[in-house]
Amino acid sequence: MQLSGALVSVATLDLPRLQRFYRDLLGIPPQVQLPTEGDPVYVEFRLPGLRLGLYRSRHLDCGAQTEAVSLCLQVQDLQGSLTTLEGLAEAYQISISPLRQAFHGQEVDFRDPDGNRIVLHQPSAAFGEATAWDPQG
């Protein structure tokens, strides 16, 4: 098997709502929308090291179903990011966990409007150095 790329895709019954949420969370619009005119059925956010696709599903049971997968977003300044996150929490009526400190750094978690778990993580220096990854090398 020769891979040409990878992405995380999230199914939703309410694509406009989830698209707005991730646009507000990430601070960028989606870079891909299909179809390009009219109501999209797929949008994609391109982040450093990640393509995040959201698509409208026709399956009524497509919502978050397990705790096995979390979308982890690494930030440089967690405290600064919490200000934005608190505004989102109010706007989307979601709750944010208390700040946790662990060997790998600081983090909080919350759920998107469909119930998918998101972790906002600021790595410790040691963890960041140990997990540094160059996709070209």
- CB-CB contact of 117 with 107 (8 Å): no
Q: What per-residue confidence (pLDDT) applies to 111? A: 92
Residue 116: CB atoms within 10 Å: 18
pLDDT at 23 over 70: yes
pLDDT at 31 over 90: yes
The residue with tokens 């090291």 is 49
Mean pLDDT score, 125-129: 80
Mean pLDDT score of the chain: 86
Read off the pTM.
Answer: 0.80
- At 54, give phi and psi (nearest 5°): -120, 135
121 by DSSP, 3-state: which? strand
Mean pLDDT score, 113-117: 89
